[in-house]
Amino acid sequence: MPREYKLLGADPEFCLIDEHGTIVTASRALSMNMRAKFGPDGGGECAEIRPTPADTPRGLAASIRRTLARGYERYGYSMVAGTGSDLGYPTGGHLHLQLEPENVDPHVLDVYIGLPLAALEPEVGRSWRRKMYGRWGDIRSQNWGLEYRTPSSWLVSPATTLFASALAWLVTLHHDELSWKSHEIILPLWNRGQAEFVNKAYLALSHLTTLSNYPKVAELLEPFNFFVDVLGTWCEERRLEDTWGLRVDIQKPLYTEREERAMERPPDDDGVDTNIIWNSDLRMDRIMHLCGPVASGLREKVWAVGLRHDRGDDVLLSPALYERGELRILLAKFLKKKKVDVQVKLWDGYPHKNGEFVIGLPLNHRKDSPLEMAVLVRLAALHSFNRIMQEKKKVVY
């Protein structure tokens, strides 16, 4: 079995935005100390963070959040990550791997790290960035190991950051085992459609499930099907101070330890924080297990309740949830896609003493469609906690 202690680092890039929505040149706005944890990248236009390396994916994500929080507290600029295509500056999600460069097969990194991450990128941005940077096999030797430069900036949310970190950690440990297996997958051209990237990424991820250390990061990698099947490609317009919860409490430690993981089942740890409240109906237990925890760092709670049989077969939303047109569209599109014959309606005569954000699940569908009901609750919570939104007829996160 591979030695399980490997340091993992990164220097993901992002653009700075001022209060007027204008791009700020990082080299003019930030300290020019190139060893600073929050500073300009090599080109000077974009910013990057240089978090303290860690030996686990969660450790790296926690280090990243601390670095973002301190930079946001000091400078106050909004931050945008992704491919950079919307702003015209390509942004990379460079990963630092403790591997010996002369013994590395770049195809392994491309198949098992680059490909799944590329499948989450918007199509336009994915091909646009690779005209300049981040093509397949983009690696650079460093005195501490190897820098993998193909991915775009996965910093867009804690969920994508944990996904990228888990891929890098697992592939670092099992590089040699994966070398022969990786050549079963031919990498797509950058201008190919989303379906080809997703299908090949699924195949690559299936290879990873056979590795001895896979169970340790399974809960961070398995959200991939939730990303591509429910949420779609990541949103490059969202501000990092929102997705990382930096506006809430800049001093709050290690928020990412309980960050929502966009998964359809909870981790084994029953102590994970969640801002979803479940009623005690026995038929809700399965749905609660499938939904998993969603922590927000906010005071808001979403209450999932089992409706009595006489309330019919519709999903009911409290007024505060129903007035969110984006959420109604999101839930309706999911139900239509899954061919579940149920409507999303306003809870008439809703007792406001029950709370502001409440979703009621009909009895028949709690019995017959528990997974779909679980995803509805999860989507309602993610939307309520500003994790995802409906924009330009697509779901973004």
DSSP 13-38: EEEEE-TTS-EE-HHHHS---TTSSE
The average pLDDT across 288-305 equals 75
User: Are 272 and 152 members of one domain?
Assistant: no
Q: Which residue in this structure is represented by tokens 């990194």?
A: 109
Lowest mean pLDDT among 6-20, 137-151, 209-223, 295-309: 295-309
pLDDT band at 283 (very low <50, low <70, confident <90, very high): confident
- The answer to whether residue 2 is domain-embedded is no
User: Are 109 and 189 members of one domain?
Assistant: yes
Q: Are 235 and 387 in contact (CB under 8 A)?
A: no
- 246 Cβ neighbours under 8 A, 6+ residues apart: 68, 69, 72, 240
- 366 Cβ neighbours under 8 A, 6+ residues apart: 281, 283, 284, 287, 306, 373
Higher-pLDDT residue of 252 and 99 is 99
Lowest mean pLDDT among 1-10, 70-79, 302-311: 1-10
- The answer to whether residue 108 is domain-embedded is yes
Q: What is the pLDDT of residue 391?
A: 41
User: Are 268 and 200 members of one domain?
Assistant: no
In the predicted model, is pLDDT for residue 393 greater than 70? no
Q: What is the pLDDT of residue 281?
A: 64
pLDDT band at 129 (very low <50, low <70, confident <90, very high): very high
Number of independent structural domains in the chain: 2
User: Are 175 and 294 members of one domain?
Assistant: no
User: Are 279 and 196 members of one domain?
Assistant: no
User: Are 226 and 320 members of one domain?
Assistant: no
Dump pLDDT digits (tens) for 17-38: 999 999 999 999 997 776 789 9
Dump pLDDT digits (tens) for 138-171: 999 988 889 999 999 999 999 899 999 999 999 9
pLDDT band at 396 (very low <50, low <70, confident <90, very high): very low
The average pLDDT across 193-205 equals 96
In the predicted model, is pLDDT for residue 87 greater than 50? yes
In the predicted model, is pLDDT for residue 265 greater than 70? no
| Percent of the chain with pLDDT strictly greater than 70 | 86
In the predicted model, is pLDDT for residue 266 greater than 50? no
In the predicted model, is pLDDT for residue 384 greater than 90? no
Of 213, 231, 249, the last residue of a domain is 231
User: Are 272 and 368 members of one domain?
Assistant: yes
- The answer to whether residue 254 is domain-embedded is no
Instruction: Retrieve residue 62's tokens.
Output: 């926690």
**How far is 114 from 157, CA to CA, in rounded Å?**
17
Dump pLDDT digits (tens) for 93-123: 999 999 999 999 999 999 999 999 999 999 9
Q: Supply the pTM of this predicted model.
A: 0.68
User: Are 221 and 271 members of one domain?
Assistant: no
- The answer to whether residue 241 is domain-embedded is no
| Percent of the chain with pLDDT strictly greater than 90 | 51
Domain holding 218, by residue range, is: 8-231
- The answer to whether residue 242 is domain-embedded is no
Of 231, 250, 275, the last residue of a domain is 231
User: Are 210 and 282 members of one domain?
Assistant: no
**How far is 72 from 247, CA to CA, in rounded Å?**
9
Q: Are 110 and 137 in contact (CB under 8 A)?
A: yes
Q: What is the mean pLDDT of the chain?
A: 84
Which backbone phi and psi does 51 adopt, to 5 degrees? -65, 160
Q: What is the pLDDT of residue 175?
A: 94
- The answer to whether residue 218 is domain-embedded is yes
User: Are 227 and 303 members of one domain?
Assistant: no
The average pLDDT across 355-363 equals 88
- The answer to whether residue 67 is domain-embedded is yes
User: Are 328 and 223 members of one domain?
Assistant: no
In the predicted model, is pLDDT for residue 237 greater than 60? yes
Lowest mean pLDDT among 77-86, 121-130, 141-150, 254-263: 254-263
Higher-pLDDT residue of 221 and 273 is 221
User: Are 69 and 133 members of one domain?
Assistant: yes
Q: What is the pLDDT of residue 259?
A: 34
Q: Are 123 and 49 in contact (CB under 8 A)?
A: no
Q: What is the pLDDT of residue 264?
A: 28
Of 214, 231, 248, the last residue of a domain is 231
- The answer to whether residue 250 is domain-embedded is no
Lowest mean pLDDT among 67-71, 122-126, 308-312, 333-337: 308-312
